[in-house]
A and B are shown apart, each in its own frame.
Chain A
């Protein structure tokens, strides 16, 4: 869907290159958008942290501080939870609202975001480093679509009446769970916020959201829109803060009914444990991945190369579902490698506000160093460096598009999630072999196969243990399609109708009747 969004919002470009944007279609951005909101958002009001502390948020293209942002900690989480709990009280405006009106509010929020697309895209690029052309034509439009999709579900999420044995009338109510803690990452700040808020609010919950400390700014602006369009106070509360303090406070809170976390598998473990140690709050997790991208010998070569490039390098390689193990069938390996290297070498790395840029900086110094560390391990463990392999600029956190060949399954770069612009290409012989090797990982988020053969496509897509399998495409997302992981990649699904389940408590009501009839 990312690719489709690109081709439909931009003038048609020859070939399938989805990384070159026509400047004419996208307005010229301001590289210095004003920051309007940098405090905590609780009960529809802007507040300093109880501790009065703040933290800097950095522009990763330059390493410079953009501004200070209020830093939420446990005391602020307590305030936010109280506000969310009050907004969820039986008889409250939010609880009594027509479901269709909840939907209308979400639609209005989508409209307001659409109205402010250019500004939000600028702010997102400033704070995260992703190219402006992508923020403008992919991230923000996807946010709008997600919210509109969820808005449509609000008054369509139906319980059932059930023919049980006995003289009873039995039905289910699909109720909201209550106060939902949501902790979102820095790789798609706006989009992750929408993925979390959309289903939670459509189903009638209230929310305490902690945004990533690397990228708090766009979420806070959206908070102002939430107030503008008319959500009652306390329904959405947004707290910028650190994981170990604010995030942990949410995960362990005795009065938060559910926590949804997107981030690393490592922190996912902590969230699950915190739930068990506190009030057994419901937990859904969207974690890491080491997704296999399988290229069969009968694949369309040009498509496969371009899509595989996109699968890994999109968003500076910072995607949980990045195709970070590219398995290429032996008979086409050499040609595939040659073309992939050529493509990687041509990838334009630079100022994210420049329309020609395809790749911006990594999000912060920590990620930057970690990725360089992995590149080092690749070299030292004997993988063949085909291109890139180092730093791409003097300031900011830019890394050269890097490809390793002759990668073996046991190497660190083949097993661990890199989250950077480093592509691993591995060789395989047979179908059965590659399915086994693809599954030999603790992760299970996504996978893809490129082939013209209908049977092979089906065999692989059934055999791979991953929550999303793409056939002859990659990174196709739609608000309508569920997304989530097998195994250590998480539990639960986001988006689609399935996404509503995780924000619902099912209540069965059984009424004695004098005489049951069918």
Chain B
């Protein structure tokens, strides 16, 4: 069993531009806290507009025609990504410990899930680098036509705090694979693993300026990136509210390409003909994983009438048995929420659930005083108009609602502005195929939940975002297609 690194010292706290460590232009720093204890872990340089400008200059220079990065064999870009994966593997314990301290997530989860996904994502895109292929095209007329799949250019990437290092890999891997250069702003709550990754990026041998890491706040550094006139594309993962700001900023500035991975209020539909215990367990982990802080959380569990009571009873039992505590200690299931703001928002929504008449099965409040831990909470008899049924809670609060027919549940599941993921539990092949086709969600799971893999595209319908990450599909978001047409004296098939 892997153990956290004891007495871990934070090594990297500065801004990473051009493969060098910089202090912030303003002189300001940001505090970084351990949400499980409230302790200050360290201070990190705070990037703002001027630092973003420096980073863009560096990324732009690295992208110049004729630069080492532009002239590099595609297979060598892939080799660098694979080397980075090797280094992450080497530093896996350290990164997992850092991640658990900075984000409050369970150490063993960080080690086995987050870091595993990080390595696999880097290797997966390492493999794509020299397989990004244009086409030759039989146009009409005496022409030879082909497409080049070129990198877009300088890409701004803004990532959230719920899976810091994994989100870092999800963003840089396809971008670098396609030959772009990157400016990435990790969340202010969780900059530490991103900065360690910066150090590994330099060690792996990426040329200066190819990846720049700028810890900072959304309204300052994030906004500077979204509005920058010399950033060609922005990719953002975070709340739908901020997603809208990013889209507006792009339209307001230089029409940079925008991809967004936003929130969700994901329906998890359990039919009577499923394996009940298995469905309860999947629905439970589908909600409570990562302290409920997942865009994919199955936060509306629709259960067919005939098994509803039993399902609720078992779900509450599971929730009550959860072990809260120090994320570094084995045997602990649930850590703290990320910060006070999230904590307050979740409690507020819990109160609304009580007030609007949902049945509180278990939990319903903070775990203890002066901490960011919240009791695993289950609400039953939830109706679609309640706030807890409509708004993304991002906490350990499970909503279980009752349904009677297939058409009804499809209609209710789709009655949301979100559309990120969905689950369907049934043994009936017709139901499985019908429901999965009908749901307006980028990811539909049948008889499973949160089954993710780097080869499979991930992204939202409607206000859950646009564009896809992971899989081959992600490459499109980091590619500009150029069609070249050459006049020739005689075309032959």
Chain A residues at the B interface, C-beta cutoff of 8 Å: 99-100, 103-104, 107, 145, 148-149, 151-156, 158, 169, 454-455, 458-459, 462-463, 478-480, 497, 511, 513-517
From 126 to 163 in chain B, residues with beta carbon under 8 angstroms from any chain A beta carbon are: 126-131, 133, 144
From 452 to 493 in chain B, residues with beta carbon under 8 angstroms from any chain A beta carbon are: 454-455, 472, 486, 488-492
Pick the contact of B75: A103, A149, A462, A463 (CB < 8 A). A149
Query: Quick check: B488 and A455 within 8 Å, CB to CB?
Result: yes
Pick the contact of B486: A158, A458, A479 (CB < 8 A). A458
Please give the distance in Å from A378's CB to the nearest CB on chain B.
35
A458 to B454, CA, bound (A): 41
Query: Quick check: A103 and B127 within 8 Å, CB to CB?
Result: yes
Query: Quick check: B79 and A148 within 8 Å, CB to CB?
Result: yes
Residues A455 and B489 in contact in the complex (CB < 8 Å), given A158-B472, A513-B433, A517-B437: yes
Could you pull out 28 A-B pairs where Cβ atoms are within 8 angstroms?
A: A100-B120, A103-B127, A107-B82, A145-B75, A148-B82, A149-B130, A151-B127, A152-B127, A153-B131, A155-B124, A155-B455, A156-B127, A156-B131, A156-B472, A169-B437, A454-B486, A455-B489, A458-B144, A459-B490, A462-B492, A478-B130, A480-B130, A511-B429, A513-B430, A513-B437, A514-B433, A515-B434, A516-B437
Please give the distance in Å from A449's CB to the nearest CB on chain B.
14
Closest to A517 in B: B437
Query: Quick check: B131 and A480 within 8 Å, CB to CB?
Result: yes
**Interface residue B438 (Cβ < 8 Å from any Cβ of A):** yes
A480 to B75, CA, bound (A): 9
**Interface residue B78 (Cβ < 8 Å from any Cβ of A):** yes
Query: Quick check: B75 and A156 within 8 Å, CB to CB?
Result: no
Residues of B within 8 Å of A103, CB to CB, are: 123, 127
Residues of B within 8 Å of A462, CB to CB, are: 488, 491-492
Residues of B within 8 Å of A149, CB to CB, are: 75, 130-131
Please give the distance in Å from B471's CB to the nearest CB on chain A.
9
Please give the distance in Å from A157's CB to the nearest CB on chain B.
10
Residues of A within 8 Å of B438, CB to CB, are: 517
Please give the distance in Å from B250's CB to the nearest CB on chain A.
30
Query: Quick check: A514 and B430 within 8 Å, CB to CB?
Result: yes
A115 to B120, CA, bound (A): 23
Most buried by A among B75, B127, B490: B127
Most buried by B among A148, A154, A459, A511: A148
The count of A-to-B residue pairs whose CB atoms sit within 8 angstroms is 79
Residues of A within 8 Å of B120, CB to CB, are: 100
Please give the distance in Å from A158's CB to the nearest CB on chain B.
7
Please give the distance in Å from B116's CB to the nearest CB on chain A.
11
Query: Quick check: A152 and B430 within 8 Å, CB to CB?
Result: no
Additional pairs, 12, CB under 8 Å, beyond known A152-B131, A517-B438: A99-B455, A100-B454, A100-B455, A107-B82, A148-B78, A148-B79, A148-B82, A153-B131, A158-B472, A458-B488, A497-B133, A514-B434
Could you mark each residue 430-459 of chain B with 1 if its beta carbon is under 8 Å from any beta carbon of chain A, else 0?
Answer: 100110011000000000000000110000
A156 to B82, CA, bound (A): 16
Query: Quick check: A479 and B75 within 8 Å, CB to CB?
Result: yes
Please give the distance in Å from B85's CB to the nearest CB on chain A.
10
Query: Quick check: B455 and A156 within 8 Å, CB to CB?
Result: yes
Residues of A within 8 Å of B488, CB to CB, are: 455, 458-459, 462
9 closest pairs, A vs B, by CB? A152-B127, A513-B433, A458-B488, A155-B455, A480-B130, A462-B492, A455-B489, A514-B430, A517-B437
A480 to B130, CA, bound (A): 7
A454 to B488, CA, bound (A): 8
A281 to B75, CA, bound (A): 34
Residues of B within 8 Å of A514, CB to CB, are: 430, 433-434
Query: Quick check: A100 and B486 within 8 Å, CB to CB?
Result: no
Residues of A within 8 Å of B123, CB to CB, are: 100, 103-104, 107
Please give the distance in Å from B70's CB to the nearest CB on chain A.
16
Residues A156 and B486 in contact in the complex (CB < 8 Å), given A479-B75, A513-B437: no
Query: Quick check: B492 and A463 within 8 Å, CB to CB?
Result: yes
Query: Quick check: A152 and B126 within 8 Å, CB to CB?
Result: yes
Residues of A within 8 Å of B491, CB to CB, are: 462
A148 to B81, CA, bound (A): 13
From 61 to 79 in chain B, residues with beta carbon under 8 angstroms from any chain A beta carbon are: 74-75, 78-79
Residues of A within 8 Å of B82, CB to CB, are: 107, 148
Residues of B within 8 Å of A107, CB to CB, are: 82, 123
Please give the distance in Å from A513's CB to the nearest CB on chain B.
5
Pick the contact of A169: B79, B130, B433, B454 (CB < 8 A). B433
Could you mark each residue 71-101 of chain B with 1 if its beta carbon is under 8 Å from any beta carbon of chain A, else 0?
Answer: 0001100110010000000000000000000
Pick the contact of A156: B128, B429, B489 (CB < 8 A). B128
Closest to A513 in B: B433
A73 to B363, CA, bound (A): 73
Please give the distance in Å from B490's CB to the nearest CB on chain A.
7
Residues of B within 8 Å of A104, CB to CB, are: 123
Residues of B within 8 Å of A454, CB to CB, are: 486
Residues of B within 8 Å of A517, CB to CB, are: 437-438
Closest to B78 in A: A152
Closest to A107 in B: B82
A413 to B127, CA, bound (A): 44
Please give the distance in Å from A433's CB to the nearest CB on chain B.
16
Residues of A within 8 Å of B133, CB to CB, are: 497
Please give the distance in Å from B213's CB to the nearest CB on chain A.
26
A145 to B79, CA, bound (A): 10
A103 to B82, CA, bound (A): 12
Please give the distance in Å from B339's CB to the nearest CB on chain A.
35
Residues of A within 8 Å of B144, CB to CB, are: 458
A418 to B130, CA, bound (A): 35
Closest to B492 in A: A462
A289 to B316, CA, bound (A): 74
Residues of B within 8 Å of A463, CB to CB, are: 492
Query: Quick check: A513 and B434 within 8 Å, CB to CB?
Result: yes
Please give the distance in Å from B133's CB to the nearest CB on chain A.
7
A463 to B488, CA, bound (A): 13
Please give the distance in Å from B138's CB to the nearest CB on chain A.
12
A103 to B125, CA, bound (A): 12
Closest to A511 in B: B433
Pick the contact of A497: B131, B437, B486 (CB < 8 A). B131
Residues of A within 8 Å of B434, CB to CB, are: 513-515
Pick the contact of A148: B74, B75, B472 (CB < 8 A). B75
Closest to B130 in A: A480
A459 to B491, CA, bound (A): 8
A148 to B489, CA, bound (A): 40
Please give the distance in Å from B259's CB to the nearest CB on chain A.
21
Query: Quick check: A100 and B131 within 8 Å, CB to CB?
Result: no
A107 to B133, CA, bound (A): 22
Please give the distance in Å from A159's CB to the nearest CB on chain B.
12
Residues of B within 8 Å of A479, CB to CB, are: 75, 130
Residues of B within 8 Å of A480, CB to CB, are: 74-75, 130-131
Please give the distance in Å from A296's CB to the nearest CB on chain B.
15
A298 to B274, CA, bound (A): 75
Closest to A155 in B: B455
A169 to B127, CA, bound (A): 30
Residues A152 and B433 in contact in the complex (CB < 8 Å), given A458-B486, A459-B489, A517-B438: no
Closest to B429 in A: A511
